[in-house]
Chains A and B, each alone.
Chain A
């Protein structure tokens, strides 16, 4: 459904990540793990076609159009004090499907309502986005992403800055969505323990693709063992993430 063939990405000549060869199938739950600066966020940008590969190609199949990927980005500083209601934010997820048409249709609003119900956001829909807690903000952004897609959901560090309880709830929510609707989930995460608990597949990056496969196989592999235990990975540099 979505994948890379021999792809590499670069910023002004400096290779950020290379040797990418993987494919995600419908209904998979893929976790992209690796240290800071290992190319995870770059890969996400590539999959969203915000960044063109320097070599190789990004593949889409199964009738997936580029604007059918739901995306949960890392929050920017400007958003933290943005005057917008949760509902306005959620509904804006439908814009990609609108094309040039200026206003939302009844169907767009129905899809928004459906996702508000699914993520239990009814009580905060008219609240101001900047006054919500971190976990609520992430749920609003998740609802927006779900408004944009029925096929693939891309999450970039969804648990950044959340406390452990809220983090666990968010991971459970994502797992439920993946299991119940068959939505493909691709998540970038620092949190290796949660990654191996929830994901069906793991993609491990260290400037290049170190491992791609099922989670069970990852836990048996050398890279996997070393990374999960928080020891020095065989490659050399010490893992300094906050797993």
Chain B
């Protein structure tokens, strides 16, 4: 069974390669002849898509820092997983999901306010992670890779699991899109009219946790939250509807990731940081476009002229 699958996979890949050779410029073709890069890009694109979709809700709910907090928790669990010689994803996912629920609870009803709780948890797990690493392998390049990401981090098994999980996140987001909108816009109203807001908040936290763990090793614990925050903020410069903000941030995120990876390959810069830099560029571009009047109003120039005529 697995052999046939393997065979189908290799056939598919070689067919794809031939196709790519015709279509793509040399740089891209050369890049995609490395299997590990193909894997990394596939996972990265899926993760950046998930992060962008969830990011819209998180940014609007004022939960942006949760992503940052969770990635630090992920750093801690990664360090422990390495020390125990366990598979990193299987250890990280449950712990980070648990942390996400905890953070959500804390920010809802607690004496310690949300932002303080996040800072508390993220610095604690950072400290635990650093101590564990220094006790086992010592402070070396591993730490640097965890912090700032490495494109080499993905093993074959990781890729399969990541793709499955990322597709599940996308599916759940699509199914519960309307509920997520309601919970984001007005939680009290949703709750009063019988929407189970607690459940959907937990769903958002759960999906965020998984997305962060999947993207963390490539983007780095310190940089992964940018995938959540930047695309949402960028598309909010121009888009006026929740649906268009969501679609726009998904597109922006995927494009930025791809451009970032290509730049990092060509210029030999760290992948995570390169993707963030491209995201910053996109943000500035959208922000500047906002200054053009027709873009801000969501009108085409022709319609604007027509409206002026009507007024005068």
CA distance A148 to B188 in the complex (A): 13
Interface residues of A in 100-153 (CB under 8 A from B): 102-104, 126-128, 131, 144-145, 148
Contacts of B241 in A (CB 8 A): 83-85, 88, 126, 128
Contacts of B186 in A (CB 8 A): 73, 76, 79, 92
Q: Given that A66-B194, A67-B194, A69-B192 are contacting pairs, would A102 and B240 also be in contact in the complex, using a CB cutoff of 8 Å?
A: no
Nearest B residue to A144 via CB reads: B189
Are A88 and B181 in contact, CB atoms less than 8 angstroms apart?
yes
Within 8 Å by CB of A71, from B177, B193, B243, B298, lies: B193
Q: Given that A50-B192, A69-B193 are contacting pairs, would A92 and B245 also be in contact in the complex, using a CB cutoff of 8 Å?
A: no
Are B193 and A67 in contact, CB atoms less than 8 angstroms apart?
yes
A2 within 8 A of B: no
B143 within 8 A of A: no
Report A64-103 CB contacts with B as 1/0, cut-off 8 Å: 0111011101001011001111001100110111100011
B168 within 8 A of A: no
Given contacts A83-B245, A88-B181, A102-B176, 5 further A-B contacts (CB under 8 A): A69-B192, A69-B193, A79-B186, A95-B179, A148-B193
Q: Given that A73-B189, A78-B62, A84-B185 are contacting pairs, would A102 and B178 also be in contact in the complex, using a CB cutoff of 8 Å?
A: yes
CA distance A126 to B299 in the complex (A): 12
Contacts of A78 in B (CB 8 A): 60-62
B275 within 8 A of A: no
Contacts of A73 in B (CB 8 A): 186, 188-189, 192
Chain A residues close to B by CB (< 8 Å): 48-50, 65-67, 69-71, 73, 76, 78-79, 82-85, 88-89, 92-93, 95-98, 102-104, 126-128, 131, 144-145, 148, 154
Contacts of B194 in A (CB 8 A): 65-67, 96-97
Nearest A residue to B174 via CB reads: A102
B69 vs chain A, min Cβ distance (A): 20
B182 within 8 A of A: yes
Which one of A85, A95, A98, A148 has the highest number of Cβ atoms from chain B below 10 Å of its Cβ?
A: A95
- What are 6 pairs between A and B in contact, CB < 8 Å? A48-B192, A50-B191, A66-B194, A79-B186, A89-B185, A92-B190
B195 within 8 A of A: yes
Contacts of A71 in B (CB 8 A): 188-189, 192-193
B175 within 8 A of A: yes
B199 vs chain A, min Cβ distance (A): 9
- Total of A-B residue pairs, C-beta within 8 Å: 88
Nearest A residue to B243 via CB reads: A88
Lowest 9 CB-CB distances: which A-B pairs, in order?
Answer: A67-B194, A96-B193, A128-B240, A96-B194, A48-B192, A84-B242, A85-B241, A71-B192, A148-B193
Contacts of B175 in A (CB 8 A): 102
Contacts of A69 in B (CB 8 A): 192-193
Contacts of A83 in B (CB 8 A): 60, 236, 239-242, 245
Which one of B186, B195, B243 has the highest number of Cβ atoms from chain A below 10 Å of its Cβ?
A: B186
Contacts of A148 in B (CB 8 A): 189, 193
A152 vs chain B, min Cβ distance (A): 11
A7 vs chain B, min Cβ distance (A): 17
Q: Given that A85-B241, A92-B181 are contacting pairs, would A50 and B188 also be in contact in the complex, using a CB cutoff of 8 Å?
A: yes
Within 8 Å by CB of B182, from A79, A95, A131, lies: A95
CA distance A18 to B279 in the complex (A): 54
Contacts of B60 in A (CB 8 A): 78, 82-83
Interface residues of B in 6-51 (CB under 8 A from A): none
Interface residues of B in 43-69 (CB under 8 A from A): 60-62
Nearest B residue to A48 via CB reads: B192
CA distance A134 to B188 in the complex (A): 20
Report B107-126 CB contacts with A as 1/0, cut-off 8 Å: 00000000000000000000
Report B57-100 CB contacts with A as 1/0, cut-off 8 Å: 00011100000000000000000000000000000000000000
Contacts of A98 in B (CB 8 A): 178
Q: Given that A82-B185, A83-B245 are contacting pairs, would A92 and B178 also be in contact in the complex, using a CB cutoff of 8 Å?
A: yes
Are A92 and B240 in contact, CB atoms less than 8 angstroms apart?
no
Contacts of B195 in A (CB 8 A): 95-96
Contacts of B185 in A (CB 8 A): 79, 82, 84, 89, 92
Nearest A residue to B187 via CB reads: A76
Nearest B residue to A126 via CB reads: B241
Nearest B residue to A84 via CB reads: B242
Contacts of B182 in A (CB 8 A): 92, 95
Nearest A residue to B298 via CB reads: A128
CA distance A65 to B192 in the complex (A): 11
CA distance A126 to B297 in the complex (A): 12
Contacts of A88 in B (CB 8 A): 181, 241-243
CA distance A84 to B242 in the complex (A): 5
A123 vs chain B, min Cβ distance (A): 14
Contacts of B245 in A (CB 8 A): 83
